[in-house]
Structure formats: C-alpha cells, structure tokens
Structure 1
Amino acid sequence: MTRGGTGQHETPAVRRSLLVQLAAPVRQFLSTEAGSAGLLLAATALALVWANSPWSESYVSLWSATASISVADWNLSMDLAHWVNDGLMAVFFFVVGLEVRREFSVGALTDPRRAAIPVIAAIGGLAIPALGYLLLAPSDANGAWGVVIGTDTAFMLGALAVVGPRLATQLRVFLLTLTVIDDIVAVSVIGVFYSDSLRLSGLVLMAVFAAVMALMSRYGVWPAMPYLLAGLGLWLATLHAGLHASIAGMLGGLLIAAHLPRRDAVERAVRRFRAFRQSPGVEAGRTAHRELVRAVSVNERLQIRLHPWASFVVVPLFALANAGVDLRDGVLTDALASRLTWAVAIALVVGKLVGITLASWAGVRAGLGKLPQGVGFGHVTGGAALSGIGFTVSLLIAGLAFPDPMNHGRAVVGILVAAVLATVAGWVAFRAAAVLRGQTDADLPRRLVPSVDPDRDPIRGSAEAPITLVEYGDYECPFCAAVTGVADELRARFGDGIRYVFRHLPLADVHPHAELAARAAVAAQAQGRFWDMHETLFAHAADLDYEDLAGYAGELGLDVERFLRDLEADHTASRVREDIASAEASGARGTPTFFINGVRHTGPHDAETITRAVWATRDSAGAGTGPVESR
C-alpha cells in the first residue's frame, strides 16, 4: 500500500469531528494503484498463457536462469525468480513501509480514535481467514495458513473502481487504513514463519544498518541517497541473516520519518526562489532547489519517486514470475477437486468478508469508534469481500510455504479463484447496499450547508454575482496564508462575476491561536471591519496572542473596548462554532477548503486550478444569464 504525491498541501484537523480531508498525495496514490491493477491483471494473464503454451519451457527456463553480482571475492547469485521475489519485492515492501510510517506520523493512524475501527477490522480480517484455513485445509498443509491473511491493495482498489460506488473516497481511506495493519502482520508472518535458519552475524549487521537509518531520520538528514544506501546494506544483511527480504523493505521504510511541511521551511524556500527570480544564477538556483527539497520530508519524496516503479514494474514482474502455473494434463482438474485449493479460496473470500464485517460491527456497537462519515455497513461488507483478493502477498507466501510443485499449483489456483469470487461477492454486496439500504456513495458531503447568507457571512463582491467562492480557512494555517491572494486574483479576472465568502475553520488541535483569531475577525465584523482584520491576521499569523489582537484592533481604528468585549462574548464563540459545524456538514476536513457555487472543490487550490474550476462551473451553469444560488 503506497502513495505518491503532487506537492499540494493543506492543514489537516486532528480532532475527532474533523477528520482530514483527502489530501492530494492520497488522491495520487489511489489513482496510481487503481491504474496499476490493469497492468497487474495483464501480467497474470500473460504468465498463465505462457506457462500453458507450447513455449512453456521457455517460461521455466527464464525464471530459473541465474544472475550474479560479483565484486572482488564477494558474490551474490540467485535465479531470476528469486531476484524478483527477494530483490524487487523488497522495493515494494520498502514503499509499503514508508506509507505505514507516514500513516502513523501524520495520517489516519495518528489518532487512536480514528484508527480504532479499521484496526479492529484488520484483526478480524487476519484471524478469521487463518482459522478458517486451519479448519478446511488438509493436515499436511496446515503450515501454509499465512497464504490467506494478505490483501492485494492494487487489485482491491482496481476492483473497487469497477464494482464499487461511483464516489468511494471515504471507503477507500477506510480500506487503506485497514491494509496498513494487514501489511505489517503479513510481513511479520513471512519473517517469523517462512524464513530460513537465522545467522547471528546477519542479525547484528541488520541492527547496525537499522540504527544508522533511525539516527539519520532522527537528526534530520534530508538527502535521500544516504537512506537508500543504508537500505541496500540492510537488505544484504537481511539476506545474510536468513530472513526474507520483505523484512528489510518494510523495516527500512518504517525507519524513515514523515512530517508535514513546516512553515519556516516553506518560507525559507520561498525566499530563496525570490532571490533566484531577482538574480538568476547557478548557485542561487541550486540553493532554491535545495531549500524546496528540504521542505518536504524524505519519506514523501521517496514515495513519490519509488511508487510508480513499485506499481508499474515490480508488482507486474512479480505476477509474471509467480502466476505462471502449468494447468495442463489434468492439473487444473486436480486443483479444482483439491481440498487445499478450496481451503485457500474459501478462507480468503468468506474469511475476509466475515472477519472484517463482524469485527467492524462489534467495534462500533462496543463504542470503540465510528465508521468514517459517509460509510455504511453495506459499504464495509463490499470492501470486506474485495479484501479477499490476496494475490501479491498470497502468491509470495505460497511460494515460500509449498516446496512441493503440486501443492504450490493448487494454492495458486485457489488464490486466482478467490480473486474472481471476491470481486463477484463485492459487486453483490455493493448492489445490495444500494438497493436495500440506499447506501450509494461512500464519500464526504460535497454540498455547502448552509448556503451563503448575506446577513451573516462576510462577502466580497456583488450580491448578484453568478459565481460564489466560499473558503473555509484558519488564520494560523500557512497554506491558507499562501492562497489568500487567490480570491483577489479571481475577482480581478471575473470582476462582478464572482463573490468571495470566508468561513472559519480553526484547527485548534494543531493551531492553538486559531480559534481566538477567528473570534477576533468576528468581533471586527461587528464593527464593519471584517476584511481589514482578516488581512491583518493573515499578515501576522505568527503573532496572534490576546495582546496582539488588541493592538491590531487599535491600529485599525476600532473601538478597542467594544472589540475586547465582543472577543470574549458567548455570541462570538457561538458564531465561530456555527462555521465549524457548517464545515463538518459540508465535508470540509482541512484548510483551506473551497466551494464553488455550493459544491466542494477537490484537487489543488492554486489560482490557475481554481480559475479553471470557476470557468467550468460558469459554463455548465449558464452563468451569463443571472446569479446562481449557493445551495
């Protein structure tokens, strides 16, 4: 489970009632994983056709061919199948580890209340399939229970895009959070139960390289290359220790910290680029580039670079090397009649469906957490069914657990049958949820609630403007401050054709002065000076203490005593809470969030992107004929 990124940022809310709005890196990740599913399916089909064709010997010969790396007296030699399974798949699990670390640092697993139900669901989705397999499998294959615990994220998301709800953002986030735990347990199982005999010297070397990576991350080493070199050393040490290489990949990724861009780093990068614009030169350009790179965590930079390779090269190559089972001469008939094949298929499909659904239901009923907003139990059932697509991890463990080619072939057939049955079961579950329970979209609300009220909302522009742009913002949010000019730029382009509305979404959990600043803006609005205070607060976002706010009121010529009374009044606090409740009801989970004519904008929020969205809204609404309601 991995994620790429586009570099577009917003400040997420930590509080329970304001879950982070889907960020651009997650959107990119979802898009890439879903797209790679088609390539993965094609590689699987090619492997099966090739292995069952007149040229099947060439398939076997290719993956059994030996490739070596030699330096002086040192030599590392493996056949191509092992280079893929033990080498390239370490890159895949490294990207998985990076994503897991990011989720624990700044993502869905930072708040235990948000993570509770996905974690409980993941435990159910691991335990029930394993128990089901042990009950169904023949006694001589009981040790292969690890085959049925994994979920293939790429295949699952690809199937969700085909058979799931049209809008499934919140369900996808739920399933991705679940697969974080799934990935950790699956790799741990590989390391503990399916590795060779251990060598102490290799374990010591692993500890040394892991410590180096942890220390570099702890002390903020920002270039990516030292981490990659230490990760290579960790991989070699893991092979020497007798552990499966997936351990090195996952561990290496987990050791690289993730963090949101810090305001001081962003501002420093901006200053360097301004200097480069004023005096373009090689050294100024290098400095600007270095500061820009340093503003983004190593974790996210490595994800962006490695994720396409993992999704579009590593995983398809793995499928090509491992899915090619020769099913001729009665092998397929034997497999379909085998208890082992159906133990794998039933444990994956039924086990995942029952385990995840029941665990989620029990967790919610016990009050341990809530499902994400917009996700119902019908959606959870459909997602649980699709989680029975084990594929990548299942094939990897099957290759380790079954040295006997006959049993290995039966297990692979069971994994392939499970992928088909899980997709069909997911389609049935989603259709049933839509028809019987009205659970269609699994997304955050997209409509502005309530609509703009000129008697309440601060508005810039003509009341008759056909386009209304509403922003939910936070005066201490660096990304809000960075886009404050967007509204002015749009008004300069569209003139009286657009009006701009600002609503408060102070993220007090991450910005301690944001709520007081929002109340200051409301207090200034009572004296008709909202926009003056609005601009002042953004201009002094680092100085928002009580005394600072009083000073700004004086500088703006406000009645300071009245301002301070209003600042502390209950009606002012109530006004800010109304905007927060409006954000919750409208699906705004972070700042800044924009609504164009009452519809939540998704994607980057730079001036050009917002302008294109405004033009699209204007054209689709026939805005030239009159004002459009923000409802």
Structure 2
Amino acid sequence: MSTKRTRGKDQTSRRQLSGQLSGPLRRFLATESGSAMLLVAATILALLWANSPFSDAYEALWDVGASLQIGGVGLEMDLGHWITDGLMAVFFFVIGLEVRRDLSVGELTDRRRVVLPVFAGIGGLVVPAMLYLLIAPGGEAAQGWGIVIGTDTAFLLGTLALVGPSISTQLRVFLLTLTVVDDIVAVTVIGVVYSDAIDVGAVLIAAAATAALVVLGRVGVWRTWPYVLVALIVWLATISSGLHASIAGMVAGLLIPSFAPGRDAVEGAATHFRAFRQSPMAEVGRSAKDALVRAVPVNERMQLILHPWVSYVIVPVFALANAGVDLRGGLLTEALASPVTWAVVAGLVAGKFLGIGSFAFGGAKVGLGRLPQGVGPGQALGGAALSGIGFTVSLLIIGLAFETPELQDKATVGVLIALVIASALGWVVFRLAAVLHGETAAGLPTVLSRSVDPGRDHIRGSVSAPLTLVEYADFECPFCARATGVAKEVREHFGQDLRYVMRHLTLPEVHPRAETAAAAVEAAAAQGQFWEMHDLLFAHQDQLELEDLAGYAGHLGLDVELFLRDVDEDLHAAHIREDVADAEASGARGTPTFFVGTQRHIGPFDAQSLIAELEASRRSGAGTGQAGGTALP
C-alpha cells in the first residue's frame, strides 16, 4: 500500500515538473536529462578503452581520415576533427536555436527575470578564470583559462535530476539562463582566442552567408532547407577562415527565427485539415501539411529534429573521443601533482560555486533582481555547485588551448575530477538546504492562491456547483479566445454541475491593449454586464481601441459616459492587479491558464482534456475550488 502511494506521489511530482514550462523547453529539459547517463557511459567506456590493451586502437581511430567530395570541391579531416569541427558545430547550433527561441518567445522574454541570472553567469565566468590563472604556472599552461568558463548543460541537468530537489523547474530555468551566458562567451573565446590564422576572404564569405540568414528570417521564409543550406555555407566558410567551427554553429542558430504561433496561422492549418478530412486528395493533403508546417517556426522544427541527435549521439561521441586519458605509466600520479590539474579543478568547482553564488546574492542585495519564485538560497548554491561540471566545452577547449599532450591529459584529468567533486558538492548543498531550511522543492506553485469568492469573482453557472474551473485570461491573447470556446464546450458538458470563473492575467509586454480591455470589462461589470462585454471583446480581439470599447458599451445599452469615466480613471485597476498577483502566486505564467478546483491544470487545454480532469477531480472530491457563498441570481 505504501509503495503505491509513494509511486503515485512521484508520478504527480514528475507531472507537475514537466507541466510548469513551455513545450519546447520541456522537451529540451527531458532530452538533455535523459542523455546524462549515456554521457557517463561514454566517458567510462573511453577511460576503459584508453587504459586497456587496445589503447592503440583507441588513439588510431580518431586519426582515421575522412573526406567529403562534391565534384571538384571537397573537405578532408581526420575523424577527431570531424567530431570537434563538425559534430560540435551542430551542438552549438542547437544551443543557438534554444537561446534564440527563449529570447523571442520563451523564458528570456521577460528581461526583468533575466538580469540576475545573467549577472550571476558573469560571476561564473570571471571568478573561475581568475582562480585558474592564480594557480596555473605561466607559459603554455596559462593559455588554458578558457577551460574553466563553460558549463556542460546536459551533465548539469542530468545531475540535477539525480541529486537536486524532487521538483526543480524554476531552478532549472535559472541555471539554463546562466548557461546561456556561459555558452555565448565560451564560443566567443573559442572563436577569437583559440582560432588559427585568419583568412579574410573566407571571413567575408561567412559574413555574407550570415547576412543571408538574417534576410531569410526577415522576409518570412518558412521552409527549412534554405536555412540549412545557408548555415552549411557559414560553417564551411568559417572552417576555411581559420575560426573555430563552433562560432559558426552558435551564430547560425541565433539567426534562425522563432515566434509564437499566430492565431491566423493555426486557424488556417485547422481549416486545411478539415478540407482534407472532407476531400482526402493528395494535393489537399499537401496543402494541409504546408499550412501546419508554416504555423510552427522553423527554429522549433529544427530543434525537434536535432535535439535527440545532439543529446544521444553527438555529445556522447564527443565524450568517447575526448575523455579517454591513458592513466598508466604514472600519468595519474603526475596529474595529481600538477598545478594545471588543480587549477582546472579549482576554477571549475570553487570558481563556479563562489562566482555564481556571490554574484547572485550580491546582485539580489543591490536590487538587480531576485531569485526565481520557489527557489531558495540553498538551492541556488546547489545549482552553482553543479555548474562546476564543465566537461563538453572544457574538453573541447583543452584540445584547442594546449599543443602538448601531457598538458592535455593533465587538464582532462582535472575536468573529470571536477565533475565528481562538483556533483558531490551539489548533493551535499541540496541536502543541507532541505534539512536546515526546508527547501525541498524548487518549482512554481500549483495550488490556487486565493479561493473563489462569489462576492468578488465573475462566475458563470451556479455558485454552489460541485465543480470549479478557473481561467486566467488576457483579452488580446488569441489562444484565450480559442479557449473561451473550449470553456463553453466544457460548461455545456457539465451543465449546472460546473461553475466557470474568469480572472485577469494581462500581459502588456506582448498585448498592449490587454489592460484597457480588462478595465473595460470591469467597467461593464459595474453596470451588471460583465459576461456580455466579455464575449464581445473576445469576438473582436483585433478591435480593442478605446473608441471600439465605447461602441461595445453603447451596443450593450450601458451608460457610455459612466463606462468611459470608469476606464479613464482606472477605477478597477486594483481588482485587475489583484488578479495578476494571484496568478503569479498560483504559478500561472501565461494565458490561458486553467485551475481545476484548486489545482493548476497541466498539459493541453482542449475541451476533452479539461473534461477528463474535471471528471477525475469529481471522483476524488477535489474539484470544488473551495466553493462557498450563496447562489447568484
């Protein structure tokens, strides 16, 4: 019995964990976390192979030549360089795609939430590099300061899943924002500091191809192949120029456009699919497919294809090729006595821990921002500790910074030691945070912060209905309009057994007329016609200027002068702000967000999904949303 209860609790935790983030970011986290064990396996295999009687075969494998010829033009490199210059360019391309998506429509669109993790990320770059230079001897060894500036996102997230809080979505977002800074700076360092002599002509070709990527995005090209072709030209020109290919991958990824799917595009795709359902002909099917593809940004389509390859093939293959250090012949003893090894360990473990921790808390103290909601100070320090897992980027820079094999091997040993120590330190910090400060979870709230109040909230249906559905909405959000129809279908299904509550979550940064529309519906509510105005506003989302709102008030027979005075004087601003504050306290970050009873709905918000969850809440007796008060007339 207890085992079943524990399993159910774990499943709920995982469900809450995955549902607190946007779909693309959720897929990214799941893929990267899932590949962590494969990375560990590849690393162990590389070490065993390099220290086995077959170590010569291990070394010889990466020296095997491979060429790509198209007509009279070709590119020839050994297998090791194909991995570092080819596959790792794809790795950084995917990172660039994710950064661009987050800057355009994801977690980094709210710049207020970005400042503190970016500032902490700067600390996680400066302090490690300084510690390395303080410990490492001069000469060639001093060139390895770039080894300690990067963080391996895949290992970081995988280790966080193993040693971190049971629910860690907010901490993950904070750490991902840190790694954005790491990745951009690391690629810049690789491209500028660790590149060969520069061929100006090839640089100009790469720049022209980069400009072509910008043009493709500006003119709205939606097919994938033009971006792939131009990105390939950027990569080839970058290799020819003497710059490291990683910079080509990152820059190209950053220039692949991302956007929130528009209502017109989504509705157009639905229309084409309905046409195909009625006329299942090849040309109609092709039109439906094109309409669907056009509605999804090319950035996310590329991520969907490339993320599994990067996580399950490219990064493990890179680890297999670079983590194999032959520790026989006294190398391990020499490495443990080498200042280079301990400079790497100190830079990654102590540098990241102190740099990120001090800059995060210092930035919060001077008002640059605050830790994400649900993340405690101890959890932030635990994340800082895990950021000392450099691995992929560190191993890449080792091969670029040092020409001497002995230095490369000693630095690699340092990276592997840092991986173990950083993971252990993170585990200790997270356990202490949980025991001493009760920091057991680092996710957004999932419970409605304020109970439904019939004297304040706007309710459709019987106030004493056994089931409650609360929606946080924005009148300019195209998918809220869509969800309004969904909510209607749900209400029709349950009849008098359901009360539907609408609360405001205005998003003025993306919907500039949302606050005025919210004020208008509250002004109409003051004259007893909230739901009538509510339906009109969603029916005319593209017409929400003040004169439009006045026209709707006249159409409903309201006192237009009183209505406009209420809107102009912001008489209902406090009510709207309270709703927005309640939404944030309840873990709602976008619109529409639904609560079934008091629990935030996670996953699709189509009618069938909401109906299924409401039925489940009825069976469990958890769907009331703390009903109370008397029935409305």
Give me the TM-score of the superposition, normalised by structure 1. Answer: 0.91
Whole-angstrom distance in 1 between the partners of 2:569 and 2:347: 60
Distance 2:149 2:589 in 1: 33
Cα offsets for 1:361-391 (capped at 9, x unmatched): 2212222222222223222211110000000
Match status 1:94 vs 2:93: yes
Answering whether residue 502 of structure 2 is matched by residue 502 of structure 1, we say yes
Taking the TM superposition and a 5 Å limit, the aligned residue runs for 1:165-314 are 165-314=165-314
- Residue 628 of structure 1 deviates from its aligned partner by 5.9
1:92·1:249 contact (CA, 8 Å) conserved in 2?
A: yes
Equivalent position of 1:595 in the other structure: 595
Return the alpha-carbon distance in structure 2 between the equivalents of residues 628 and 511 of structure 1: 29
Provide the rounded CA distance (Å) in 2 between the counterparts of 1:381 and 1:515. Answer: 38
Q: Which residue of 2 aligns with 1:470?
A: 470
Equivalent runs, 1:85-124 vs 2, <5 Å: 85-124=84-123
The Cα of 1:126 is off from its aligned counterpart by 0.5
Q: How large is the RMSD of aligned CA atoms in angstroms? A: 2.2
Shift, 1:392, TM fit: 0.4
- Structure 2 distance, partners of 1:51, 1:499, is 66
Bigger mean CA deviation after superposition, 189-198 or 525-534: 525-534
- The 3 A distance-change label for structure 1 pair 564 and 197 is closer
Q: Secondary structure at the match of 2:243?
A: coil
Aligned to 1:25: 24
Q: CA deviation at 1:490?
A: 2.4
Q: Distance in 2 between matches of 1:562 and 1:578?
A: 23
How far apart, CA to CA, are the structure 2 residues paired with 1:586 and 1:350?
36
What's the CA shift for 1:356? 0.5
Q: Distance in 1 between matches of 2:627 and 2:319?
A: 50
* Equivalent position of 1:572 in the other structure: 572
Inter-partner Cα distance in structure 2 for 1:611 and 1:350: 51
- Report the Cα offset of residue 563 of structure 1: 4.3
SS in 2 for 1:590: coil
Distance of 2:286 and 2:360 partners within structure 1: 51
- Measured in 2, the distance between the counterparts of 1:216 and 1:181 equals 26
Identify the range of structure 1 (267-276 vs 119-128) with the bigger mean alpha-carbon deviation.
267-276
Q: 2:626 aligns with which of 611, 619, 629?
A: 629
Report what 1:4 is aligned to: none
Task: Check whether the contact 1:24–1:603 (CA below 8 A) recurs between aligned residues.
Answer: no
Q: Distance in 1 between matches of 2:150 and 2:577?
A: 43
Structure 2, unmatched stretches of 5+, are: 1-18, 629-633
Could you tell me how far apart the structure 1 residues matched to 2:619 and 2:328 are? Answer: 59
Conservation of the 8 A alpha-carbon contact between 1:448 and 1:630: no
With over 3 angstroms needed to count, the CA separation of the structure-2 counterparts of 1:614 and 1:335, relative to structure 1, is farther
How far is 1:210 from its partner?
A: 1.2
1:447 to partner: Cα distance: 1.7
Amino acid in the other structure paired with 1:165: P
8 Å Cα contact 2:471/2:593 also seen in 1:
yes
The SS at the match of 1:385 is helix
Going from structure 1 to structure 2, the CA distance change for 1:575 and 1:202 (only over 3 Å counts) comes to same
Q: Is the 8 A contact 2:464 2:627 kept in 1?
A: no
Whole-Å separation in 2 of the counterparts to 1:310 and 1:342: 30
2:581 aligned partner: 581
What's the CA shift string for 1:223-242, capped at 9, x where partnerless? Answer: 11011111111111111111
Structure-1 residue corresponding to 2:394: 394
Q: 1:210 to 1:595 in 2, by over 3 A?
A: same
Aligned residue pair count: 609
The aligned counterpart of 2:153 is 153
Cα 1:51–1:617 change in 2 (3 A) is farther
- 1:52–1:328 CA contact under 8 A, matched in 2: yes
Give the structure 1 partner of residue 490 of structure 2: 490
- What whole-Å deviation, never above 9, does each CA across 1:203-225 have from its counterpart, x for those lacking one? 12212211211211222211110
Give the match for residue 609 of structure 2: 609
1:136 matched residue in structure 2: 135
Amino acid at match of 1:351: G
What residue number does 1:9 align with? none
Distance 2:61 2:620 in 1: 55
Superposed displacement of residue 558, structure 1:
4.4
Q: Is 1:97–1:253's contact at 8 Å kept on the other side of the alignment?
A: yes
Aligned to 1:37: 36
- Once the two structures are superposed, what CA deviation does each residue of 1:241-291 show, in whole Å capped at 9, x if it has no partner? 111111111111122222222333334334433443444432232223222
What residue is the counterpart of 2:440 in the other structure? Answer: 440
Determine the structure 2 residue equivalent to 1:77: 76
Q: 1:622 to 1:234 in 2, by over 3 A?
A: closer
Alignment correspondent of 1:6: none
C-alpha displacement of 1:355: 0.4
Please report how far the alpha carbon of residue 322 of structure 1 lies from its aligned counterpart in structure 2 after TM superposition. 1.0
Q: Is the 8 A contact 1:21 1:590 kept in 2?
A: no
Are the equivalent residues in 1 in contact too, given 2:143–2:402 (CA < 8 A)? no
1:356 counterpart = 2:353: no
CA distance in structure 1 between the partners assigned to 2:477 and 2:607 by the alignment: 18
Is the 8 Å Cα contact of residues 20 and 602 (structure 2) preserved in structure 1?
A: no
Aligned counterparts of 1:621 and 1:325: Cα–Cα separation in 2 = 59
Query: How far apart, CA to CA, are the structure 1 residues paired with 2:464 and 2:43?
Result: 58
Q: 1:509 to 1:255 in 2, by over 3 A?
A: closer
Give SS of 2:35's match: helix
Match of 2:517 in 1: 517
Distance 1:524 1:279 in 2: 45
> What is the alpha-carbon distance in structure 1 between the residues aligned to residue 456 and residue 422 of structure 2?
51
- Cα separation, partners in 2 of 1:566 and 1:401, compared to 1, 3 Å: closer
Q: CA offset at residue 179 of structure 1?
A: 0.7
The share of aligned pairs that are identical, in percent, is 61
Alpha-carbon separation, structure 2, partners of 1:72 and 1:584? 59
The verdict on how the C-alpha distance between 1:569 and 1:33 changes in structure 2, with shifts beyond 3 A counting, is same
Residue 375 in structure 1 maps to residue 372 in structure 2 = no
Give 1:8's aligned residue.
none
Asked if the contact 2:94–2:307 (Cα under 8 Å) also holds between the matched residues in 1, the reply is yes
Deviation at 1:610, TM superposition (A): 2.7
Segments of 5+ residues of structure 1 without an aligned counterpart are 1-19
Q: Which amino acid aligns with 2:336?
A: L
- SS of equivalent residue, structure 1 residue 60: helix
* Separation (CA, whole Å) in 2 of partners of 1:338 and 1:612: 62
Report the Cα offset of residue 502 of structure 1: 0.8
Alpha-carbon distance between aligned partners in 2 of 1:58 and 1:446, rounded to the nearest angstrom: 54
